[in-house]
């Protein structure tokens, strides 16, 4: 990895053993994203990954694969990689990773199940929204139907995942409708956790240009909070699902398990709106 390349990981993985698998993002086209701007995508050689693992603490229990979308490397390399982790870190019970709807679509349910059996146990996936119109506007590269299809495959393979969504992403005046579409999407699959982020307009992004030209008007904080409330109101998962707004971009930081804590979470959002 060159000096200029950045490593991003979820806040919950801050103490996890980080294993570089890919550099930057193979897609690099989402309108709101500047994470890997100007950086070139490349997979890390297995020999380099093995060298990294040799320096790991034998008693490591969790590993996070870094890169925007390590699953891009394909089933065979992923299997070898998980085998290496097991060889050098035999106590590792969970390998976690970012993943995209596009990369998951390259795997069959059987392959995902095999990866799960080899230790891949927790994915962080950017669903962003359940609105096709907004997914297209943000050039996300998948539709809501694609997202549901791939999520159901993961459910079948028993591979658990976190659903990352962005409120405010639909812009001013569209938040309630966006929340309803996102909840409708999420209610079609099982997810371990819903992680919310509030839309940030980063310099150098296509979104920033859209804001400058007046083609996109960011929603205000009150509207964003109403979006969170609408989302919560429309979520009634059949299995316990963590609802987590503790990412630093959020206006309000709350966390609880759905459906059990739904009324408590709603009351906290309502209090902030009032």
Q: Which residues bind ligand SF4 (CB under 6 A)?
A: 25, 27-30, 33, 35-36, 68, 100, 126
Q: Which is nearer to ligand SF4, 70 or 218 (CB)?
A: 70
CB of 25 to ligand SF4, least distance (A): 3
Tell me how far, at minimum, the Cβ of 124 lies from ligand SF4, in Å.
10
Residue 29 CB, nearest distance to ligand SF4 (Å)?
6
Closest CB to ligand SF4 among 74 and 220?
74
Q: Smallest gap, in angstroms, from Cβ of residue 28 to ligand SF4?
A: 5
Nearest to residue 82, comparing CAs of 109, 56, 121, 48?
121
SS (H, E, C) the chain: CCCCCCCCCCHHHCCCEEEECEECCCCCCCCCCCCCCCCCCEECCHHHHHHHHHCCCCCCCEEEEECCCHHHHCHHHHHHHHHHHHHHCCCCCEEEEEECHHHHCCCCHHHHHHHHHCCEEEEEEEEECCCHHHHHHCCCCCCHHHHHHHHHHHHHCCCEEEEEEEECCCCCCCHHHHHHHHHHHHCCCCCCEEEEEECCCCCCCHHHHHHHHCCCCCCCHHHHHHHHHHHHHCCCCCCCEEEECCCCCCCCCCEEEECCCHHHHHHHHHHHHC
> How many Å apart are CA 93 and CA 165, to the nearest integer?
27
- Is the Cβ of residue 88 or residue 124 nearer to ligand SF4 in the bound state? 124
Q: How far is CA 91 from CA 63, 83, 94, 115, 119, in A?
A: 11, 13, 9, 17, 11
Cβ closest to ligand SF4, residue 26 vs residue 245: 26
Choice between 35 and 201, CB closer to ligand SF4: 35
Q: 144 or 254: whose CB is closer to ligand SF4?
A: 144
CB of 37 to ligand SF4, least distance (A): 9
Q: Which is nearer to ligand SF4, 199 or 254 (CB)?
A: 199
Closest CB 10 distance from ligand SF4, rounded Å: 12
- Least distance to ligand SF4 from the beta carbon of 26, Å? 8
């Amino acid at each position: 990895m060159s000096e200029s390349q950045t490593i991003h990981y979820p806040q919950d993985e801050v103490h996890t053993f980080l294993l570089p698998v890919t550099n930057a993002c193979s897609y690099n086209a989402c309108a709101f994203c500047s994470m890997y701007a100007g950086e070139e995508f490349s997979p890390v050689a297995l020999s380099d990954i093995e060298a990294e693992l040799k320096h790991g603490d034998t008693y490591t229990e969790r590993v996070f694969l870094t890169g925007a979308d390590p699953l891009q490397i394909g089933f065979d390399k992923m299997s070898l990689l998980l085998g290496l982790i097991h060889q050098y870190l035999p106590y590792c019970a969970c390998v976690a990773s970012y993943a995209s709807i596009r990369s998951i679509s390259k795997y069959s349910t059987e392959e995902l199940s095999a990866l799960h059996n080899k230790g891949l146990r927790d994915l962080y996936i950017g669903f962003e929204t359940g609105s096709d119109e907004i997914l297209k506007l943000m050039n996300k590269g998948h539709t809501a139907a694609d997202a549901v299809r791939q999520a159901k495959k993961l459910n079948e393979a028993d591979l658990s995942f976190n659903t990352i969504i962005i409120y405010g992403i639909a812009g001013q005046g569209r938040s309630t409708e966006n929340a309803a579409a996102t909840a409708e999407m999420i209610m079609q699959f099982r997810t371990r956790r819903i992680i919310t982020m509030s839309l940030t307009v980063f310099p150098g992004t296509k979104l920033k240009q859209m804001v400058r030209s007046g083609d996109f008007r960011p929603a205000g904080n009150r509207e964003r909070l109403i979006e969170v409330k609408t989302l919560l109101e429309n979520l009634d998962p059949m299995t316990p699902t963590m609802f987590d707004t503790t990412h630093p971009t959020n206006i309000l930081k709350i966390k609880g398990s759905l459906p059990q804590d739904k009324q408590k979470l709603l009351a906290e959002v309502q209090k902030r709106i009032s």
